Amino acid sequence: MALWGPSKTAMVTASEALPGRDQEMPVPERHAVLGTRLRPPFPVGMEVAVFGMGCFWGAEKLFWTAPGVTSTSVGYAGGFTVNPSYEEVCTARTGHTEVVMVAFDTDVTDFETMLRLFWEGHNPTQGMRQGNDIGTQYRSAIYVETAVQLAQAQASRDAFQAVLTQAGFGVITTEIAQSRPFYWAEPYHQQYLAKNPGGYCGLGGTGLRCG
């Protein structure tokens, strides 16, 4: 899934971004593994957050296998292009990063657990890349729905930064923000590694524990 070239690491501006389209991407009704809805509304008691940690195939599998996670789906967020295609995102002219929307049951798990999976599941200090995947679409990001989640995400970043610094890693480059539009990726991307067990997975952390 890697696309090479120095231009891939430069964040596009709103005026330079591709326009996109009015038509939304079709979304499968049910999760291929969990059998639950991919789109909101989710049942009462669910919280939702969106995570970008490199290639979204492996990131989605990381979350759907976690206890308490009721639904996951992959898409694009953090940029400017409306309803982008994967091919457009790969040009680095949408501003979007590959992300996973995660719905989790607060009676079973919590946002802090989701954050721990996020920080430990990738290297958040790499800027516009994740391992061999290079470009703005692979940057690290957390997009939250509430002010409480925002504060929790920022506190967890600061705590993990201390761990990373002690181990000799650089500064966390993760974007943490509230209320960014989420655009679903193409149906073939949803639960990709369940449909293609031998498929590419670039997920890899630093080996350090968060908390």
Burial of residue 13 (CB within 10 Å: 0-12, 13-18, 19+) is: exposed
- CA distances for 35 relative to 19, 106, 108, angstroms: 34, 19, 18
Task: Give the max Cα distance, the chain.
Answer: 48
Tell me the three state secondary structure of residue 65. coil
Of 69, 182, 170, 181, which Cα lies nearest the Cα of 116? 69
Active site amino acids? 55
140-144/133-134 β-pairing:
unpaired
Both structure tokens of 205: 């952390």
CB 190 within 8 A of CB 32: yes
Q: Return phi, psi of residue 24, to 5°.
A: -75, 155
CB 77 within 8 A of CB 50: yes
